[in-house]
Structure 1
């Protein structure tokens, strides 16, 4: 009887401890990954974007907004990412804009309106928002996140201090790897199916011309002709897909003379691996 009571008390204590963990809400996978690395098991990370949805333009329902508002810290990407955050009341004292420290280095973009499936019609206006694709900037975002976590969750200070050097070292090594490997592509034009890669291009000296194709959709005849025309004009031989395209799309691109590579910006959680391991693999495939 006493043994059963001890087991029950242990289970109750475990549930209580899980519920007592501080919560960090994030708007994209890179920030979720950073928070997980910094807080370990002592932290609950809330990344509520459903699988298959674009975190840039996804709009949470009322229940998810309520959960985010109650988090101990709300980590934003900044640079216009997650547009819903500008139209929702969030507790200012618990919000950190992780890219604010390099806002003077944001890249301006042209305004283009199109549809993104269930996320509806939207415009790419004002600012390129995939800041973490410059991995040195990603390291700065990790530092901003760590500082905010320590302010809001001082009880995790030792855990964060212990994890931070390793996290920054991984991102610094990834930056160096990208700088070395992608130098092989300098002087050539790369085509991309969607305007996600501005910071990758600037950081690593690449010339990337972007189309406006919806991720996961088969291009229509007019889009294929546009691709043909741009390839002819630029001499491009490489096409980056934001996500795996429908069957036959890569073969069609090959007929135009383009090698296809899927390079996910990792705004959403990958099915395997983590931020660094997936990026390492994608960089290697890009230069094969």
Structure 2
């Protein structure tokens, strides 16, 4: 009986130790959080700084975020200037361990903001091929932190990459049948240029690469003129942006809004009806929503 009790206590200790051994990963926003969970599985405990359905462009760090970083074993950011608030946050937190830049291997694009100023486009995750590069960076970082789990992390990453490759091919096929001159889409800000280049779609917007920019009246008027002249019907609201601007453009251009696209955040994972709870679901939702508007 005593031996059984000792065995039980030891077993409980092993379970507790295993739970404590989970690598604590903090990602800057929800897309990266999902990628870390897909690769890390049960070996990681993932938290995010910018919540789901919150805008990373205008996010203001909170005291809780400092606590998250202080407790982290690994931090993952997008890079390409996306997290403009991050350097200040990391400095205030005193975090000394590694910061992984997921987009490190991505060939970035340069766009122009609403004032015509050149800016690096950080929204690289909208090209699925780029996210395969993200996966490589995250996998390597996790393997370095969890050397005993190298093989299982490698297997998870390879399996996920196969799913991403299939998703990429599916999105490509969705738009191949649509004439190239009909693939024109209006969104709130320039978040989808990588998607556009990858899948042959021209995206136009009244705002530049960041949602905190204010479009000029001339820019809006020019866009409305373009919609009418080129007979563009695919006009979308973004989940994090104000509806007012796009509704104004749609009304003046006499077009119907085609739905909601997810640009800088996944949807609420706790909501019953949530079309973009994971990165792959986000891409599928956006592709299907755009496709439906282009063929209608």
Q: Quick check: 1:194–1:241 contact (8 Å CA) kept in 2?
A: no
TM-score, normalised by the number of residues in structure 2? 0.77
Sort the Cα spacing of 1:162 and 1:181 in 2 relative to 1 into closer, same or farther, 3 A: same
Sort the Cα spacing of 1:13 and 1:186 in 2 relative to 1 into closer, same or farther, 3 A: same
Of 199-208 and 8-17, deviating more is 8-17
Show the counterpart of 1:129.
122
Of 136-145 and 158-167, deviating more is 158-167
1:74 partner SS:
strand
User: 2: distance between equivalents of 1:61 and 1:175?
Assistant: 36
User: 2: distance between equivalents of 1:146 and 1:229?
Assistant: 47
Q: How does 1:196-275 map to 2 (within 5 A)?
A: 196-212=191-207, 228-243=224-239, 253=250, 256-265=254-263, 267-271=265-269, 272=274, 273-275=277-279
How much does 1:156 deviate?
2.5
Kindly indicate whether residue 135 of structure 2 is the aligned counterpart of residue 142 of structure 1: yes
Show the counterpart of 1:166.
159
Q: Quick check: 2:53–2:265 contact (8 Å CA) kept in 1?
A: no
Taking only aligned residues, the RMSD between alpha carbons, in angstroms, comes to 3.7
Sort the Cα spacing of 1:28 and 1:51 in 2 relative to 1 into closer, same or farther, 3 A: closer
Kindly indicate whether residue 180 of structure 2 is the aligned counterpart of residue 186 of structure 1: yes
Sort the Cα spacing of 1:270 and 1:170 in 2 relative to 1 into closer, same or farther, 3 A: farther
How much does 1:126 deviate?
1.6
User: 2: distance between equivalents of 1:39 and 1:154?
Assistant: 12
Q: Quick check: 1:266–1:275 contact (8 Å CA) kept in 2?
A: no
User: 1: distance between equivalents of 2:58 and 2:247?
Assistant: 27
Show the counterpart of 2:286.
282
User: 2: distance between equivalents of 1:135 and 1:262?
Assistant: 20
User: 1: distance between equivalents of 2:84 and 2:59?
Assistant: 8
User: 1: distance between equivalents of 2:9 and 2:114?
Assistant: 58
Paired positions, count: 273
What are the ranges of 5 or more consecutive residues in structure 2 without an aligned counterpart?
A: none
User: 2: distance between equivalents of 1:92 and 1:176?
Assistant: 40
2:57 partner SS:
coil
Q: Quick check: 1:26–1:47 contact (8 Å CA) kept in 2?
A: yes
Q: Quick check: 1:94–1:152 contact (8 Å CA) kept in 2?
A: no
Show the counterpart of 1:54.
55
Of 196-205 and 206-215, deviating more is 206-215
1:127 partner SS:
strand
How much does 1:43 deviate?
0.8
Of 38-47 and 50-59, deviating more is 50-59
How much does 1:51 deviate?
4.3
Show the counterpart of 2:109.
107
Kindly indicate whether residue 119 of structure 2 is the aligned counterpart of residue 94 of structure 1: no
User: 2: distance between equivalents of 1:250 and 1:59?
Assistant: 27
How much does 1:15 deviate?
5.1
Sort the Cα spacing of 1:93 and 1:257 in 2 relative to 1 into closer, same or farther, 3 A: same
How much does 1:151 deviate?
1.2
Sort the Cα spacing of 1:185 and 1:281 in 2 relative to 1 into closer, same or farther, 3 A: farther
Q: Quick check: 1:111–1:124 contact (8 Å CA) kept in 2?
A: yes
How much does 1:211 deviate?
1.9
Cα displacement string for residues 84-116 of structure 1 (whole angstroms, at most 9, x for unaligned residues): 1233337565111111112xx211122348xxx
Of 91-100 and 172-181, deviating more is 91-100
Q: Quick check: 1:112–1:125 contact (8 Å CA) kept in 2?
A: no
